[in-house]
Structures are given as C-alpha cells and as structure tokens.
Homo-oligomer: A and B are copies of this chain.
C-alpha cells in the first residue's frame, strides 16, 4: 500500500475548500485559507500545508473565532492602512489589505498595513512574496503563542515571533526569508518528542530555567531565542510592532485568551512596504543580482527561499506527495 498520494495543486485547493466549507467557513475565508495552504504544499512547507487545515477547524471551538468574518479595510490620507479582521483568519484580511498597501507604497514611497483582531496560524512569506512580485520591498511581523523566554529569563513570554522580508528580483521570484526569532519551530520539538530524539543544545530550557535536551521538558519549559540576546531583541521588537504599536495582543495575552487550548493566537500583524522607485537607484535589480552571484560563488551557499522555489517548480509540474494518513484524517472532517 502506498504511503502517499500525489495530488495536483488544484486537488489540494479543492480538498481544503471542501473541509473548510463543511465546517462553516465562508467561501471567501475558505478560499483565502485554501490558497495559503496550497501555496505551502506547492513550496514544500508541509507544516503550513494541508496538515494545518485541522488547526483552522479546531480554532472554531473558540466561539469568538469568526469563520464568516468579512474584514473591514480603512484607508485615509495616511500611508498607514488598517484592516479589522473581525476575529476571522489572516489570509482573507491580507487579501483585503494588500492592494491598498501596495497603492500607498507606490504613492508615498513607504507604507504600512496593520491587520487587527485576527487568528493567524499561517506563515508570513506568502504576503511579503506577493508584494515583492509587484516590485516592492516588504517586511512582515506577527506575534504568536507565548513559548519563548526573554534573554536571561526562565519562563515563556514571547511568541516564536517570525519576521519576514522580501526583495524583488529581475525575471525571477523574489528573495524571501521568513524566520522565527526562536531557535527552533515548536513543531520541530514536538517531532523530536514523537521520534524519541534529544534536542540540540540551545533550543530550550526546562521549567526551572536550566538548559535541556529533553523535548518534553522543553515543551513544559520554554523555547530559547535564536542567537541568544540578539534573537531575543528581535522577538521583543516583534511584540512591540505587532502588539503595542498597532494595538493588538502580545503573545502572552493571546495564549492567556486561548481558553480552549486550540493554539490559534488572536492578535495582529504589521507589514511595511517600500517602493524602490522613490529611491532613485535605477539599477537596484542588477545590483542585487551582482551580490547574489557573489554569495552563490562560494561553495555550500544558497539564497534564502532558493530551496522553496526549486520545490515549487517540481510540485507545479508533478504534483505533491500527500501523506495518506493526513488525507484520511481530512476526509473524516468531511463526514
């Protein structure tokens, strides 16, 4: 018996739509989530692919989550655009706000989009990539669940708090990175637990604040930021930008409010976009290629997002191997 089934990207999208629609998501919410999930499978990011669909459904156990929300866009003369997600999910809020963000960035040179009041369990690279495909430089920041200890501390306070960045490229998909400010993803620790493996040094501390290699002790304790105090400073920056500045939850508040333990944090996301046309460097695309060539001239290097784009080409042509256990689980969600 095969362990996997090959699905086309359309089949992945349709399956996600079916499950979400069956569980009460509006067509717009379901479609935007399904597109995000499909993009993740396309690029080989399994943990944000179909695997994530049950988490979206579970999030509805929290009665405040709104699977029918129609996000509200607010645009003024300012270069700051707001979207109130009305406790719906982030992909539709982004779809609602990104065109206005692009427009403001082109008009003023720099612009920001604040997404408020959203359940966000997706990666950040799709939105920064989509902005850079349009020729903009983009940043995104979001809080998460409180799993990470501050530098020198003992207890979870910060989220894994990703920061994503994208820079346009000439005749190629953009340069993109999307990286947690924690040393590892939470899912990697859970995977070590399941496989009975010890954690690498530097990933986590136990409840007493001592370094641990035991995955269960790590899950009961706290994750560590990457790169020590410098990663912790980035985690704090993300809390300030996507929490305090835009008036949304800190990670620790999202976790406190998750009374149903479904793991979908309610909070905000901040995006910044920059239009290179306002900087007067006519050859910035050629200039960045020159730098990338120098990176790649060194053996053993690759550019951020390069592996994802390689997988994308492969999956667009040949479809994606989906685990049959996951498929069976998703089909149960259709009953």
* A231 close to chain B: CB less than 8 A: yes
Q: B227 and A154: CB pair below 8 A?
A: no
Contact between A149 and B287, CB atoms less than 8 A apart: no
Q: How many copies does the complex hold?
A: 2
Complex CA distance for A194 and B32, rounded to whole angstroms: 59
Counting CB contacts under 8 A, is A97 at the interface?
no
Q: Which 5 pairs across A and B sit closest by C-beta, in order of nearness?
A: A227-B227, A247-B281, A153-B298, A80-B109, A152-B300
* B interface footprint on A290-304 (CB within 8 Å = 1, 0 otherwise): 110011001111111
Interchain nearest-CB distance for A280 vs B (Å): 6
The B-contacting residues of A in range 227-247, CB under 8 angstroms, are 227-231, 233, 236-237, 239-241, 243-247
Complex contact B230–A294 (CB within 8 A): no
Which residues does A use to contact B, with CB under 8 Å? 78-80, 82, 108-112, 114, 137, 149-155, 157, 165, 167, 175, 177, 179, 183, 209, 226-231, 233, 236-237, 239-241, 243-247, 250, 252, 272, 274, 276, 278-281, 283-284, 287-288, 290-291, 294-295, 298-304
Contact indicator B244/A154 (Cβ below 8 Å)? no
Q: Assess the B230–A245 pair: CB atoms within 8 A.
A: no
A291 CA to B167 CA, complexed, in Å: 32
Instruction: Known A-B contacts: A108-B108, A154-B298, A154-B299. Give 11 more (CB < 8 A).
Output: A78-B108, A79-B110, A79-B278, A110-B111, A137-B240, A152-B302, A209-B300, A240-B288, A247-B284, A247-B287, A250-B287
Choose one: B80, B236, B284; the contact of A295 (CB below 8 Å).
Answer: B236
Question: CB within 8 A of A157: which of B177, B284, B295?
Answer: B295
A196 to B: closest C-beta gap in Å:
25
